[in-house]
Amino acid sequence: MAEHESLEFGKADFVLLDNVSLEEFMANLKLRFEKGRIYSYIGEVVVSVNPYRAMNIYGRDTIEQYKGRELYERPPHLFAIADAAYKAMKRRNKDTCIVISGESGAGKTEASKYIMQYIAAITNPSQRAEVERVKNMLLKSNCVLEAFGNAKTNRNDNSSRFGKYMDINFDFKGDPIGGHINNYLLEKSRVIFQQEGERSFHSFYQLVKGAPDAQLRSLHIQRDPTAYTYIKVGGQIKSSINDSADFKAVTDAMKVIGFTTEEIQTVYKILATILHLGNLKFGSDGDVTLIENSKLVSVLGDLLSTKDENVEKALLYRTVATGRDVIDKQHTHQEASYGRDALAKAIYERLFCWIVGRINDVIEVKNYDARVHGKNTVIGVLDIYGFEIFQNNSFEQFCINYCNEKLQQLFIQLVLKQEQEEYQREGIPWKHIDYFNNQIIVDLVEQQHKGIFAVLDEACMNVGKVTDEMFLQALNGKLAKHAHYTSRKLSPTDKNLEFDRDFRIRHYAGDVAYSVVGFIDKNKDTLFQDFKRLLYNSSNPVLKAMWPEGKLSITEVTKRPLTAATLFKNSMISLVENLASKEPYYVRCIKPNDVKSPLLFEHERCKHQVEYLGLLENVRVRRAVKRLLQGCGFEHDVAYGKTKVFIRTPRTIFSLEEQRAEMVKRIVLFLQKVWRGTLARMRYRRMRAALIIIRAYRRYKVKSYIREVNRRFKNVRGMKDHGKHVKWPTPPKVLRKFEEALRNIYNRWWAWMLIKDLSPEEMVQIRAKVATLECLKGQRADLGLQRAWEGNYLDSPGTASSFTLVSSDLQRKDKFMRVLFSCNVRKINRFNKAEDRALLITDRHLYKMDPVKQYKGYFSGPKDQLVVFHTKDNRDLIVCLQGIVPAGDSRIGELVGTVLSHFKSEKRKLQVNIVSPIHCSMNGRKCTVIVETKINQSQPDFTKSRSGYILSVPGN
């Protein structure tokens, strides 16, 4: 198929292998690598092996060889796949995308840059200035994003530590007119920590080594990366990267893109801020946390354009809202260190997202009208982190590997599965090709309620201290029977896993053990609100714009933000949907060795990648093309060329024409299906429009009701009855419960307006009367609510002096605070003798002279003044209130309300029963008290009966 390569370089297309086996595939791949042929085909898929050396195959001459050519006219190359995607977009007016996948260090980032360079080189033949400007900005954006998003790892000197998907927009002539960049999951933990042998993001080293001396002085930065805690490890690594030259290139690129001088200066101020934050040290003076090197606070205040004291307060204190109160809670040493590191990571992530957004502002298509300029088509280029297995795999590696599972699933669906199913639909017999369907892994991670992300989110939402170990326990409980999940608890003999720390996932690319340490914190992604307010209140407008949520007051209730896992899952689902909507082209990158050698081809290393990338299955699917003619029975009447099929006899042509006619029927059915779908969608749009109108009408009714309520009750505060006479408007059905709640609010306000000016003494009576009403309403006709309650009826002319003397003596003796109720009573004693007594109830005791504690009160029916006080020692007190003036009045309600109100104020319970007859106990003897009405009775009095006592009351 691919021309201009002799067999000494092996087969340029793996579909042409004599025997499709893993051994032949690996032998051909190794031969081509050793001969300097790093690109091969599997049909229309490009297999790329990282050469780990510069190769002279990307110049202008090479570009001209591939420009406008079909895929198989030239040897395999990235330019061929880029040209194929561009032609499909331009010729068929289709959106396309190029998906570049492979391990970390397999060459994905370089491949994406060469594809971008090729597209830029073949477009704009008329040399329009605007198109040249757009192309230049698209290319320069790579330089900037690599500086802030890439880092040196043990596997790769320029490893992308974020995912990037770029859409390039083309006009109807095929010239680029703009683009848009989406970024995914920046590995921000690298800001504060790097594994041995690795560096932080390039931008830090470029600043320290490449910035002019004057700029470094203004940023208070030394030209020594080992002087800064956050990048000290990376600062000691010798590297072939020229940070000084890269600093100038990045600064120039930012200027070309359109960053202002002030914006560029702010970017480097933020980098300097992070470096100084890493050097902040906290100490303790007793219970007080202090900043040991406090001079750095003023440096940070200067860089962040804010007050020093605000910086120090945000680092040492956390403002907490408790109801209406706002307090400053001092950090412990551990909390202060955590806050500092969280701030450093958050500032860098916010800076990176701002840079991406700033680039998008410049490169996005503007003032484009499809009706005037034609359809705007797109080529998407995906350069995203590769599958990673490190010594210690944490939350970031878990997300990265999940991302690769999603992309592999897309590859399976779009390339392998669909092609197989198409042949099966055609009824062509062939040998079934097995492939690893990793949907089970995708579900394991993202399934609602059961997936790892769901369990992690649930753990993060639990109240109280939640640890990573508790999250692992929850995983073990939910996924104990899952074939692709295990942990040390589930596999006690697996010593490669640590108890309460590790779990293992069987990925399509191999088994990976993850440490749960840090999963909870990284998923919550907590940053104290004080830092957001600090940065929002900066006088630097660029910095202020990066933190819009800092505008919120501490007392404002905000919605719980989505977790890092949920955000990443949603972005991956959206990415896959986006890619699936386009015609995909694939570049599968392979890493030949782990030591970055241009000569070494590690067989087992490459074999593992070939297996998990499903390349052999891809070859088998592509080989099935010949089965089409074989299935029709024409294999003896055709000959296969490199790009054409030659047919020997007319009979075959006639037969193909007959099958074509049959196919036309199916095409007609297909068109009918599409049209019916169009009609259904039109009906759906009409229904949706009706629904929108209904919703709008409902909103109108709700707003009208609220406006009417507001109009009617607007001035109730100034009305005499405070709006009691105002008629409520009829609410719409949906607001009936709302109206009920609104009425309750209004009634409470109305009641408050009535009582707010009452004196404390009047409030005591009000509470007592409310207590009476709650207890006795419907039980007695006269509760005495209309008169003033005096409470102390013994303190009256004639008895006042003697009563005052007695009560004062009792107060000194028993230390009570106040008298609740007193009056004359008629009582019956245990010897069945009725006698007059005085009843005195204080806030601590009930007196009939002798103190009796801990009691319950029982009251009789409506026409008498009978009261029975039950005591725990069964020595009940039976009395009838007397001496009431005027005679027809009642004091039962006052007695009940006063005592109940007092008990409520002390948060104690008083049991009140209204019964007839009353059952009681006189010195341990059970008896009953009944009330009888006698015509000739002048005063209530007690008499003995067979079952207890009778209270005779006047009949009129």
- Average pLDDT over the chain reads 86
Residue 444 pLDDT greater than 90, yes or no: yes
**821 — pLDDT class (breaks 50, 70, 90):** confident
Q: Each residue of 146-155: pLDDT tens digit?
A: 999 999 988 8
- CA pair distance 492, 154, nearest whole angstrom: 32
For residue 594, pLDDT over 50 is answered with yes
> Does the annotation list 104 as a binding residue?
yes
Map out the domains of the chain with their CATH numbers.
Answer: 760-911 (2.30.29)
| 116-132 average pLDDT score | 88
Distance CA 210, CA 885 (A): 101
Q: CB-based burial of residue 596 (10 Å sphere; 0-12 exposed, 13-18 middle, 19+ buried)?
A: middle
Read off the pLDDT of residues 188-211 as tens digits, 9 standing for 90 and up.
Answer: 999 999 988 899 999 999 999 999
Query: Residue 821: beta bridge partners?
Result: 841
Instruction: List alpha helices for 187-291, DSSP H.
Output: 202-210, 213-218, 232-235, 243-257, 261-279
| 710 CB-contact burial (10 Å; exposed 0-12 / middle 13-18 / buried 19+) | exposed
Angle between helices 615-623 and 418-425 (to 10 degrees): 30
Q: Is residue 895's pLDDT more than 90?
A: no
Could you tell me the two tokens for 59? Answer: 């110049």
Q: Which of 187, 388, 405, 617 is catalytic?
A: 388
Point out the catalytic residue in the list 48, 96, 109, 842.
109
Q: What is the pLDDT of residues 713-743, one digit of tens each?
A: 998 888 888 888 899 999 998 889 999 999 9
**For residue 78, what pLDDT is reported?**
96
Tokens of 200: 């932080």
Greater confidence, 532 or 510?
A: 532
200 is catalytic: no
Has 386 been annotated as catalytic? yes
Is-contact 522 538, C-beta < 8 A? no
How far is Cα of residue 560 from the mean position of the Cα atoms in its chain? 7
What was the pLDDT predicted at 279? 95
How would residue 426 be classed by pLDDT, with cut points 50, 70 and 90? Answer: low
Residue from 50, 124, 156, 200 carrying the catalytic annotation: 156
| CA–CA gap between residue 869 and residue 846 (Å, rounded) | 9
- pLDDT value of position 140: 92
SS3 823: strand
* 107 labeled binding residue: yes
CA-CA distance, 677 to 905, in Å (whole number)? 72
Is 102 known as a binding-site position? yes
Question: What DSSP element (H or E) covers 921?
Answer: strand 918-922
pLDDT at 900: 84
State residue 655's pLDDT score: 75
Residue 8: what pLDDT? 85
Residue 640 predicted with pLDDT over 70: no
Supply the pTM of this predicted model: 0.65
Is 104 assigned a catalytic role? yes
824 is catalytic: no
The CA-atom distances, in angstroms, between 72 and each of 79, 81, 858 are: 12, 10, 104
Query: Is 109 annotated as a binding-site member?
Result: yes
Of residues 43, 380, 386, 614, which has the active-site annotation?
386
Out of 150, 159, 772, 901, which one is annotated catalytic? Answer: 159
Helix axes 261-279, 202-210, angle to 10 degrees: 100
3-state helix, strand and coil shares in percent for the chain, rounded to the nearest 5: 50, 15, 35
CB atoms within 10 A of CB 357: 13
For the residues 650-664, what does the mean pLDDT come to? Answer: 72
- Name the least confident of 236-250, 587-601, 856-870, 922-936: 856-870
Among 104, 142, 393, 952, the active-site one is: 104
Whether the CB-CB separation of 95 and 581 falls below 8 Å is answered with yes
Q: What is the pLDDT at residue 373? A: 57
- Could you give the CA distance from residue 563 to residue 557 in angstroms, rounded to a whole number? 18
Contact 190, 160 (CB under 8 A): no
Q: Rounded to an integer, what distance in angstroms lies between the CA atom of residue 901 and that of residue 899?
A: 5
Q: Which of 28, 142, 150, 160 is catalytic?
A: 160
In this structure, which long-range contacts are made by residues 696-704, counting pairs with CB atoms below 8 Å and at least 24 apart in sequence?
698/732, 698/734, 701/732, 702/732, 702/734, 702/735
Query: Looking at per-residue confidence, does 394 or 641 come out higher?
Result: 394
Note the pLDDT tens digit of each residue in 735-777.
899 999 999 999 999 888 888 878 887 788 888 888 888 888 7
Average pLDDT over residues 505-529: 90
Highest mean pLDDT (candidates 158-172, 320-334, 796-810): 158-172
Active-site residue 159, yes or no? yes
d(CA 736, CA 290): 56
List, as one string, the DSSP characters of 850-914.
Answer: SEE-SEEEEE--TTS-EEEEEETTS--EEEEEE--SSTT---HHHHHHHHHHHHHHTT----EEE
